[in-house]
Structure 1
Amino acid sequence: MTAAGFSPSFHDPALFVHTSPRGRTLLILYVDDMIITGDDPKYIAFVKARLRDQFLMTDLGPLRYFLGIEVSSTSDGFSISQEKYIQDLLARAALGDERTVETPMELNVKLRPTNGDSLPDPTRYCHLVGGLVYLAVTRPDISYHVHILSQFVSAPTTVHYIHLLRVLRYLRGTITRRLFFPSSSSLQLQCYSDATWTSDPTDRRSLSAYCVFLGGSLVAWKTKKQVAVSRSSVEAELRAMALLIAEVTWLRWLLADFGSLL
């Protein structure tokens, strides 16, 4: 990568950046794949040629489908979704009906490890929750619910499985939802955080959550249980804000690597 003129990012080991008078080129490495993007088509063609000299590789053309994520683009921007992935997940779940629901989980539900009877074989529960964890990459609307369900993968019960099926029925009814990133979006970060004080009835720990917008594009979100018990709702909110600040700091570093320092 360095021989081709790229410089490694100090903030993300998978990111390499090249800057020239004609524009900026980004290269993102994965285990067996890579994505090259930028506004200098001649240099992108040069990099592809250099890579072919060194590695046995196939140029798959413009990004359309990658690691289960579908990408579509127009002049207004591009969108990402996992519609096919949801269909495969529903097929694995083998739901016995075609019902849909309007929300992933009922309001004010607080699940405990002791709810219901233990599942005789937790394998399906674990596989489905694992699928939902990856699906949350493009579906922030299920992030909170997946966080709750994933806490019981070591010993799921019948009640936990019922709530898991509800999330799947919600996805069936919202399968076409996707994230849209407008091409005219500004480069201003807008951040929101929240916390639910002592939301876990078992250990009394609170829950932190945040989302970050870059202009009109949602670029980061997270739901995470706090590492310590907060003694007040104010403390819980401050812990959630601290988690968000760490994420925003990293995003600003990446924007600097992209040449878009705010």
Structure 2
Amino acid sequence: MDVKNAFLHGDLYEEVYLQPPPGVDAPSGYVYRLRHALYGLKQAPHAWFERFVSVMQAAGFSPSEHDPALFIHLSPRGRTLLLLYVDDMLITGDDVDHISHVKRHLNEQFQMTDLGPLSYFLGIEVLHSAKGYYLSQSKYIQDLIVRSGITDNRTAATPTDLHLQLRGTDGTPLEDPSHYHHIVGSLVYLTVTRLDIAHAVHILSQFVSAPTSVHFGHLLRVLRYLRGISSQCLFYARDSPLQLHAYSDSTWASDPTDRRSVTGYCILLGSSPLAWKSKKQAVVSRSSTEAKLRALATTTSEIVWLRWLLVDFGIVCGAPTPLLCIGAIQIANDPVKHELTKHIGVDASFTRSHCYQKTIALQYVPSELQVADFFSKAQTREQHRLHLLKLSALDPLLPP
């Protein structure tokens, strides 16, 4: 007999059907009451996070105002940080004794396994050396290539063809698009460490609703590129200066179907990349200057958030963050030109206000040195290699 159970938790209402335990009969008209959230219900993640927050606050931690999954503990002996992802966590800090105390406290409250020093987390491999840290997803790449079903041994020098322009009508529709969906979804997660495929994945992910044979062929090229350079890592040097700087650029009307532009940016702390993006803009820009100004506003927003987050890590960015770009600098700095930019006034005003607040400092960079091009357009083989070096994307098995 299935017994209907209805309950209210906060602002959420849910109905489920429970099977009573053997030997228990529910009289007609009675229902079961859940005293705790069950795994799989809408309330479960919220209830789990509330419970975890209460435990961390009892241990003297405070949630970050800029990332609720980051918990911070300050004491005269140093700073301890805990980052939570569902039920996996990273703990680091200056005070080793306090870290041991936190792990004992958590072990008393939850069933917990201590995996020791960080070496593997959510598919990301972490290698330690005297010079710094390497982040890679080489095992994830190998597993993905096996699941893709590629039977040849070919590799590619770059993830996309130069001047690639794909349309939804190219080729014939795939009979079973689920394989395309699976590979693209895996590649999206792979861009966590493989910034070199960000632009290619941005293009291919636009066709997941109706992929064709042509789209799938270009998808296989990305996999062949990854197979040839699967051991590549992001390198974070120990002696890298703690100075934030960013690159921002955009194409103009580059999409052949809807004529929208692509924003590309990269933000680095010293020589270490922290954030990057390749994304189509939400609206059509009527000039290249307008497209670049929209890209500046997007990059500025990310810089502001990173500056806040770095304070939680004990890194105060007192000086303005250099934002290197090619165009739109004068409009972003000069409010007199508002007559020409009323239709993009919000982006212009947002960027300009942070220029005045000394959050950012717009600086011109020649196009050949614009690292953000890596995220907005395809590169030649030599340009691709140079950008990898600039972004500290190295193969630890090979000399730089």
User: In the alignment, is residue 216 of structure 1 matched against residue 290 of structure 2?
Assistant: no
- The two structures have a TM-score, normalised by structure 1, of 0.99
* Aligned residue identity for 1:190: H
Q: Please show how residues 94-243 of structure 1 align to structure 2 within 5 Å.
A: 94-243=149-298
* Aligned residue identity for 1:212: I
* Aligned residue identity for 2:70: L
Q: Distance in 2 between matches of 1:224 and 1:43?
A: 42
* Aligned residue identity for 2:126: V
* Aligned residue identity for 1:18: H
Which digits, 9 at most, give the CA deviation of each residue in 1:206-257, with x for residues without a partner? 0001001101101110111101100000000010111000000000000111
Which digits, 9 at most, give the CA deviation of each residue in 1:129-148, with x for residues without a partner? 11100001000000000000
Which digits, 9 at most, give the CA deviation of each residue in 1:160-195, with x for residues without a partner? 000000000000001010101011111111100110
Aligned to 1:73: 128
* Aligned residue identity for 2:187: L
Name the SS of the counterpart of 1:186 in structure 2.
coil
Q: Distance in 1 between matches of 2:223 and 2:74?
A: 44
Name the SS of the counterpart of 1:234 in structure 2.
helix
Moved more, 30-39 or 147-156: 30-39
* Aligned residue identity for 1:86: I
Name the SS of the counterpart of 1:222 in structure 2.
strand
Q: Distance in 2 between matches of 1:11 and 1:258?
A: 12
Q: Distance in 1 between matches of 2:254 and 2:128?
A: 40
Larger relative contact order, structure 1 or 2 (CA cutoff 8 Å, min sep 6):
1
Match of 1:62 among 104, 117, 137: 117
Match of 2:96 among 32, 37, 41: 41
Q: Distance in 2 between matches of 1:55 and 1:162?
A: 47
Q: Distance in 2 between matches of 1:61 and 1:199?
A: 48
Name the SS of the counterpart of 2:282 in structure 1.
coil
Q: Distance in 2 between matches of 1:67 and 1:10?
A: 24
Q: Distance in 2 between matches of 1:219 and 1:73?
A: 18
Q: Distance in 1 between matches of 2:101 and 2:203?
A: 47
- CA root-mean-square deviation: 0.7
Name the SS of the counterpart of 1:25 in structure 2.
strand
Name the SS of the counterpart of 1:16 in structure 2.
strand
Which digits, 9 at most, give the CA deviation of each residue in 1:109-156, with x for residues without a partner? 100000000001101111001110000100000000000000000100
* Aligned residue identity for 2:273: L
Q: Distance in 2 between matches of 1:21 and 1:209?
A: 41
- 1:75: how far off? 2.1
Match of 1:260 among 275, 293, 315: 315
Q: Distance in 2 between matches of 1:195 and 1:233?
A: 8
Aligned to 2:86: 31
Structure 1: tracts of 5 or more residues without a match: none
Q: Distance in 1 between matches of 2:85 and 2:276?
A: 22
Q: Please show how residues 7-26 of structure 1 align to structure 2 within 5 Å.
A: 7-26=62-81
